[in-house]
Structure formats: structure tokens, C-alpha cells
Structure 1
Amino acid sequence: MSDTDTPQPQPLLDDEALDQLDDFLESERVDADALDLIGAHGFLVALAVAPSDVPAATWVPELFHGEPAFADDSEREATLALLEQLRHNAIQVLEGGGLPELPFDMELGGLAPEETPIGDWCAGFMEGVFLDEAAWFAEDEEAAATMLLPFMLLSGLFADEPDMAELATDGQRLERLVEQLPELVLDLYLHYRVPPETPKPKPRRKGPPGRGKKTRKK
């Protein structure tokens, strides 16, 4: 596939909306353990991909690590609306076969993933998976583990596991995975959200006249 055939990643929120969320998530009115903008972006993209919808009553407290000190109901509604819009826009982009634009430079630059926004985003994504882990692995555990491996590896959350630690030393492999992240998100969406098409019955071929009947030679 040439570069012209590759769809350009699409932003899930405009810069103004991202700045607004960033300011709020970095404020003292939000718990220190809450996800930051990068982590929240990954978290909400995971919810867009998830095999089943997770209600806001479940994911909002997880994202904020409790209830923020909103100034008033208006601020609460506006903030939650932006978060929901990000999730919804991710679904729209992926449903159309597009790629999500991720809010960081797509290279590690020789750093360990967990020392970069890439690791923060993937850790947020995995937090979204953990919300309903059973659903992600219900249908085909092996396929799910394979498809989620890049996110797990780049998140740094599994660094203590021997297999992960060994893979994490391969810098070239990690850089390739970072470049592929938007495509890997789309692959997950197609796997979980787009049911395979039922194959259409093939019409029976008619053979040439006389074929299928054996005639005796005289």
C-alpha cells in the first residue's frame, strides 16, 4: 500500500477542546491519581473499541479516581460531554475504517516507553481494558492476548513479567509497534465491533453439456 492509500489519522477532538480537558485534568480540583489528558485519551479509545459498552457511571469515577471538585453542574456537564465526545468520535472514525490521531509524537527516541507519553497513553488504554477484562478475553483469549500485546508491552505496566521484560529490550520492535498503534487500534475495533460478514452461498456452477454423465464408447 502506498502512502497515498494510507488514510490520514483523524483528531478525535480539536485543539481547543483538548486544551480545555488538559487544564481541568491538571488542576488541583482533580485527584492526583486521576488520568492526565494522554492517559484519558487512551482510556476513552479503549472504551470505544471495547466488546461491550461500559456505562459512564462506571468509567467516569475510574478516569477521575473519584469525583472531582467541579465548580458547578455546568462545568461538570461540559467536562463529561467533552470526554463522551472523544469516545464517540473515536467510534465514528473507526467505524468508517479511519485511523485515530494520537496526541503524541510517534517515536520513542531511544527512551523506555513508560518514560514517554506513548507509555502513558497505552497505560490509559489498558486501564480501559481492565474495566471489563472478562469481555475482552471471552470469545478468543489467545487472539485477544496477541492483539493487546503491543499495548501491554508499551504501557510498561507488565515490566516485571519475564516475557515482557525480554521483549522490552528490543528497541526496533518497540518503535515499529509505536508506528503501528493507530492501525492496531483499528484492528481491535474491527475484531470486537464489526461482526464478520456471513459468506454468501455460491451459485452452483453448470458444467459443459454432457459433463458429469459418463457415456460408454461404442
Structure 2
Amino acid sequence: MSASDTPPPQPLLDDAALDRLDDFLDSDRVGADALDLIGAHGFLVALAVAPRDVDPAIWIAELFHGEPAFADAAEQEAILALLEQLRCNAIQVLEGGGLPELPFEPVLDGIAPAETLVGDWCAGFMEGVFLDEAAWFREDEATAATLLLPFMLLSGLFDNEPEMAELAGDTARLEALVVQLPDLVLDLYLHYRVPPETPKPKPRRKSPAGRGRR
């Protein structure tokens, strides 16, 4: 498939829904440690990719880092429904082999990832990984580390680790990774959520009648 044949990334929520989430997560009714819209988007995409489902009560508490001051039960239901819808839409898009649309321009312009929306999104994604880290690395730690390396590099969360410093300084590589992020998300989904096809057993060759008898 050529680049021109590649389907464009698909939005996981419409603009009105994203605006409503943005307004709520940016309000003083959530704690200072709560994820903002960009971080929450990355966090929920990670949950869509994750090797196993996480109980909603656990990930909701992690996303908000406390109990939001919802105006009423109706607002609480609406906000939580939008968050769950984003996660489910990500699963649906990835299950169909599509690419998720990410809420930022895929460029760094020479700025350190940690100071960009790209870094905020990847940090949110890694928060989703940390929520059930054992499951992500249980089956094949080396492959998991390779697949997650771009998200780790772009998150800025590991900049102080010596083994990451050289990679983090390769600006050309980082710029390329940003462009590839939707494809990298799909690669992770296929690795964790789509089991490899089991080869069909070969039919046993039958011996001609009479052969093998004495």
C-alpha cells in the first residue's frame, strides 16, 4: 500500500466532545494533579492498547488523582461516558486496522518533547502503561521495551536516565518518531490485542493400501 493509499487517522471524539472534556479537565473542579485533555487522551489510548483491561474505578481514580467536584450526577455521568467513549473508539479504530488521530501537530520544531503537547500526550500514554506495568512486560520484555521506547523517549519522563540521554539528543530521530506515533500505536495494539494466527495442522499422509504390511 502506498502512502497515498493509507487511510487518514480517525478522530476518537468529535470536536464538541473534546471541547467539553477540555473545559472540565482545565477547570478548578479537578485537582492540580489531574491529567489535562492531551494527557488524558494519551492515557486512554494506552488503556485501549493494554494487554488486559483495567477496572474503570482504578483508571478513573488515576486520571483525576482525586475526586472531581462534579456539578451533579448528570455531569459526572456525561464526563465519565466521554472518557469511556474515547477509549472504546480507540479500540474500534485499531481493531479495524485504522490509525488514531492524535490531538496535536506531529512536529517538535526543535523543542524538547517534554515542553510540547507531543510530550504531554506520550507522558499520559506512559501513565497508562505504569497503571498495569507488569502486564505490559510479562510476556516478552525485550519486545515490549522496543515497542514502547518511542513513547518513553518522547514523554520526557526518562530524560535523566543515562541510557536514554543519547537517544533523546537525536532530534532528527525524535521528529521522525512523532510522525510515526499513530502507526506505533497500531503496532502496539496488534502486538498485545491481536493473537498470532495458529498455523493449520498439515494433513497426515496416508500410506497406499497394502504398503507397510507383510
Shorter-chain TM-score range = over 0.9
Distance in 2 of aligned mates of 1:136 and 1:91: 17
Deviations 1:181-202 (A, max 9, x none): 0000000000000000101234
Deviations 1:84-115 (A, max 9, x none): 00000000000000000000000101100001
Match of 2:97 in 1: 97
Match of 1:213 in 2: none
Task: Report the CA distance between 1:203 and its aligned residue.
Answer: 5.5
Match of 2:211 in 1: none
Match of 1:173 in 2: 173
Distance in 2 of aligned mates of 1:203 and 1:182: 41
Runs of 4+ with deviation above 2 angstroms? 201-205
One-letter amino acid matched to 1:65? H
Match of 2:210 in 1: none
Deviations 1:69-96 (A, max 9, x none): 0001100000000000000000000000
Distance in 2 of aligned mates of 1:190 and 1:11: 19
Distance in 1 of aligned mates of 2:7 and 2:129: 26
Q: What secondary structure is seen at the aligned counterpart in 1 of 2:105?
A: coil
**Within the alignment, does 1:152 sit opposite 2:152 as a pair?**
yes
Distance in 1 of aligned mates of 2:68 and 2:79: 11
Aligned pairs for 1:4-23 within 5 A: 4-23=4-23
TM-score with structure 2 setting the length: 0.94
Deviations 1:106-133 (A, max 9, x none): 0101100001000000000000000000
Q: What is the aligned-residue identity percentage? A: 80
Whose Rg is larger? Answer: 1
Give ranges in structure 2 of 5+ residues lacking alignment: 206-214
Number of residue-to-residue matches in the alignment: 206
Give ranges in structure 1 of 5+ residues lacking alignment: 206-218
Q: What secondary structure is seen at the aligned counterpart in 1 of 2:177?
A: helix
